[in-house]
Chain A
Amino acid sequence: MNTLKTLLVSTALAAGLVTGAAAQELRIAVSTHIPNMDPQDQTGNNGAPMLYNVYDTLVERNSFATPLTFKPGLATEWSQIEPTVWEFKLRENVTMHDGTTMDADDVAFTLNRMIVDKDPELAPSYGRWFYNFERVEVIDPSTVRIHTFREDPLFLTMISARSAGITSKEHYEALGFEEAALNPVGTGPYRVADFVSRERAVLERFEDFWGEPAPLERVTFEHVQEVASRVTGLVNGEFDIVTNIPPDQEDAMQGDGLATMGVTWPMFHVWIISQGNEPTNDARVRKALRLCTDRQAMVDGLWGGKAHVPTAHQFEEYGAPLFIEGLDLITFDPEEGKRLLEDAGYNGEEIKAQFPRSYYLYGDLAAQVIQQQWADCGVNLTLEEVDEINYDEVNVRAWSNPMYYPDPMGAMDTHWSSRSWVAQRGERPMWQPSHPEWASTYETVRFATDPAERKAAYEKLLALGEEESGWLLMYEPHEIYGMKEGIEIQIPVAQRPYVLPLRAGEITVAAD
C-alpha cells in the first residue's frame, strides 16, 4: 500500500501534476494567538493573520489597491436598491468547510446573530462596524437584502470587513456557539484542520473552494510568545515565518537562507489621557503632557528610527481622496508644556498610568521613556502593568488604534465614537469631548455621502481633537517579519493590520 502510494506520488511528480508550490507547507510562529475562530467574535490583531484566509465576505476588497476598490466575493452582484437597502445576489454552489452549501440562510444567520440578536460575544464587532445595520432579510436562497438604519456611505467598506465573514448556520445550530467557534467553518481557500485554543491553528487547502485554489498545502500558526524563541526558531529551521519581531532584533535573523521584511502597519500606539480623573481633567495638563512627549526620540531609540512619527490621527493608506496632505498637528515643546502645567497649578500630583500586561510590543519600554521625558517637565508619572484597569483612578491607559478599514473613520469611529468604551467606562469616562461642534462634525464625517464634504469635516474634526487632547499618538510601530529566503508576501494595504495574505496570487514560495 505504502509503496503504491509512493509510486503514485512519484509518477504524479514526474508527470508534472504536482508543482513545487502546490505541495508547499508553511510553519508560522505568531506572538499572540486566539481563543476561538469565530469571525465576528475575534476582532483583534491576533486573529487577523488566520481569519483572512479562512472566511470570505459577500464583497471582497482588492487587497493591494489604494484607494479602496471592491470585487465579487460570496456575492456576485450587489446594488443599493434604496438609500437604506442593499440587495446581494449570492454565488451559487459554494461549498462550506462543513460540506454544506452556502446560501442566504447562512448569510442572514451569521450577521443577524450580531445585529438583531445582539449576542453579547459579538458586541465588539457590532459596536465597531455594524451598529448602523438593522437586519438581513432573506428574499430567496440566493438573494439577501441588508437594511441599514441610515444611508451609510461606508456600507461596502463594512460588509467587506473580515468581521462580516460568513459562517455556517447548520454548523452553529448543531454544535452551539462555543464548540462551533472552536471548530471553525468558513468558505475560504483554507479550512481549519486542527485548532487548539490559543496555541495552534493548522490550515489546509480546501479542495472544494469556489475560487482559485490556495497556493499552499498546509499552514501552521504556532503560538510562540517569546521574541527570543521566535528568532531562535527561525534561525534553527523550526519555522518558515516568524512575526512581531522588534526592529532591534533584525540583525539576529541575518544569515544563510534567511530574509527579513519590515512593515509599518497603519496603526497608532496611543496613550489615552483621561478627561475624567484629576489632575488630567484639566485640558492644560493634558496638552502639556503631549507637548512634553518627544516621539522622535522614542522612534529613534526604541524602533531604530523605523517606526513612523504621526502628525495627525490619519493614515496615508486612506488614499488620495481622503488623506489630508501636509497636516501637522503634533509638536514637541517642553517649555510650553511647563508653562501650561504651571498655569494649571499642577504641582507634582501623581499621574497614574496603567497598561495591559505585555500586550503592546515595547509598550513597557515606551512607558518608561515617556516617564523620564515627562519627569523633565516636572510630571510625576507612575506606571503599572495590570490585568484589569481601574477606571475610577487611572489618568493614562495604553491603547492601540489600528486602521480597521481604509477610511478616516477606520481608526476614529472604531475607537473614539460615543459608543466606544472610552466614552462610557467608569464614573468619569476617559473621553468626553466637550467642544460644541465635535458631535455635529463627527456626524458629517461618518454619514455624509459626498467624499469632499467628509474630507473637509475630517480636517476640522482633527483640529477639534487636538483641542480635546484626549489622545497622545506615540507612533506607528514598525515590525519585522523574519522568513526563509524565497518567500514573497505583499502587504495588504486595503485590509486591516496584521492580515497575512496567503490566498492565490498573494504569496509565492520557492521550492526547496
Chain B
Amino acid sequence: MALALPRPRAPANAGLWLAGLLLTAIVLAGAFAPLIAPHEPNAINMLSRSAPPVWADKGTWAHPLGTDNLGRDLLSRALYGVRTSFAIATLGLIFSAVLGITLGLISGLAGGLVDRLIMGLVDVFITLPNLLLLLCGIALLGTEIWVLIVMIGLVRWEAYARLVRGQVLTLREEPFVEASRTLGGSGLRVALVHILPNLASPLVVMLTLSFPLVLLMEAGLSFLGVGVQPPTASLGRMIGDGRDYLVNAWWMSGVPSLVLVAITLLFQLIGDGVRDRIDVRAHG
C-alpha cells in the first residue's frame, strides 16, 4: 500500500452538501415545530402511555415515533426538543464567543497588566472543572433557561479568548496593522477594521466544532436533572426521563438520543469539511 503524500484537497464533496442539507432540515423542523408537530408537545394522554413507534409491534401512525410515559407524542416532543436545545446552545455559544472575543481582543491589544489579568482568569477557568462550574452556577442562580445560557457561555469563553489573543499577537506585528497604528488609529479601530476580519475563518471553524459540544453539555445537564425543567421538552431531558423505561419502552430515550447523535454527527462532518476548506495554511 502506498503512502498517500499530500495532494490538493478535493473540492466540497456531495457528502458535505448532503450533511448541510440534512442539518438545515432538522433545524428548520425544530424552528417550525409549532406548525408541523402533529400533537401539542406537553399534552398528557394517560390512555396512550408508552405507545411504541409505528414500525414496532402495536405501533400506530397516530404517534409515528411512539409516546412517552405520560402519553405525550415523541415526534412532537423531539421537534420541540430540538428547538429548545438549539436555542440554548446557540445563545450560549454566541454569549461565550462575544465574551471570549472581547476579552481576547482587549488582552491582545492592551498587553501589560490587563493582559496578565485576563490570562490569569483564563487559567482559573481552565482549572475549574466545567461541569462542576455549571452545576454550581445553576445552584446559585436557579434553573431558568437564561441561566443555562449564561453558564454554558461562561464555561466556553476561554477558548475564544485564547484564540483571539493569539491571533492578535501575531497580527499586531503585521505591517498593515503597524501602519494603521502609526497613523493614529485607535485600538478599537484597529481591532474592528484590521484584526476581526482576519479572525473570521478560524472563528467560524471553532464555532462549528464547538456547537455539538455545547449541545451535548445542555443535554448532559438536562440528563442530570438540573437543566431544562419539566414539562418543557429538551433532547437531554427526554433522554433522562426515558432511562427508567429502557427495558420496556426503549424509544423514550432512544428517539431523542438518535436525534441528538444525528445533529452532533452532522455538525462534526460539516465542521471538519469547513475546516479542511478554510484551513489552507495547513494543507495548502
Contacts and interface: CB of A to CB of B under 8 A. Distances in A.
A associates with B: yes
Interface of A: 226-228, 231-232, 246, 248-249, 251-252, 297, 300-302, 357-358, 364-365, 367-369, 371-372, 383-387
B244 A369 contact: no
A246 B231 contact: no
A359 B232 CA distance: 20
B244 A385 contact: no
B246 to A, nearest CB: 4
Contacts, number: 61
Given A301-B46, A385-B230, A228 B143 contact: no
Nearest to B44: A372
Contacts of B71: 301
Q: Is the interface of A mostly helix, strand, loop or mixed?
A: helix
Interface residues of B, number: 23
A364 B232 CA distance: 12
Interface in B216-262: 225-226, 229-231, 243-248
B46 A300 contact: yes
Contact of A368 (B49, B70, B226): B70
Contact of B46 (A226, A369, A384, A385): A369
A252 B231 contact: no
B46 A358 contact: no
A334 to B, nearest CB: 16
Nearest to A232: B247
Contact of B248 (A226, A249, A367, A371): A249
A372 to B, nearest CB: 5
Contacts of A358: 225
A232 B247 CA distance: 8
B231 A365 contact: no
A58 to B, nearest CB: 42
19 contacts: A228-B243, A228-B245, A248-B49, A248-B69, A248-B245, A249-B244, A249-B245, A301-B47, A357-B226, A358-B225, A365-B69, A365-B70, A368-B70, A368-B230, A369-B70, A383-B231, A385-B143, A385-B225, A386-B143
Contacts of B85: none
A357 B229 CA distance: 11
Nearest to A361: B244
A159 to B, nearest CB: 40
Contact of A367 (B230, B245, B246): B230
A227 B247 CA distance: 10
Given A300-B46, A301-B71, A385-B143, 14 more contacts: A246-B244, A248-B245, A252-B247, A252-B248, A301-B47, A301-B70, A357-B225, A357-B226, A365-B69, A368-B44, A368-B231, A369-B44, A372-B43, A383-B229
A246 B248 CA distance: 12
Contacts of B42: 368, 372
Contact of B246 (A228, A297, A364): A228
Nearest to A357: B225
B248 A248 contact: yes
A382 B70 CA distance: 17
Contacts of B243: 226, 228
Q: Which 9 A-B pairs have the closest CB atoms?
A: A301-B46, A252-B247, A227-B244, A228-B246, A372-B44, A368-B231, A252-B248, A231-B247, A384-B229
A371 B42 CA distance: 10
A371 B247 contact: no
Nearest to A382: B229
Interface in B30-72: 42-44, 46-47, 49-50, 69-71
B139 interface: yes
B139 A249 contact: no
A364 B247 CA distance: 20
A384 B230 CA distance: 7
Contact of A251 (B69, B226, B244, B248): B248
A292 to B, nearest CB: 15
B47 to A, nearest CB: 8
A248 B231 CA distance: 21
A371 B231 contact: yes
Contacts of B143: 384-386
Contacts of A246: 244
Contacts of B69: 248, 365
A385 B43 CA distance: 20
Nearest to B247: A252
Contacts of B244: 226-228, 246, 249
A387 B139 contact: yes
Nearest to B72: A368
A301 to B, nearest CB: 3
Nearest to A388: B139
Interface in B5-48: 42-44, 46-47
Contact of B230 (A227, A248, A383, A387): A383
A386 B230 CA distance: 12
Contacts of A302: 46
A369 B68 CA distance: 13
Contacts of A387: 139
A331 B39 CA distance: 31
A248 B50 contact: yes
Nearest to B240: A358
B256 to A, nearest CB: 16
Nearest to A373: B44
Contacts of B229: 383-385
A358 B225 CA distance: 8
Nearest to B244: A227
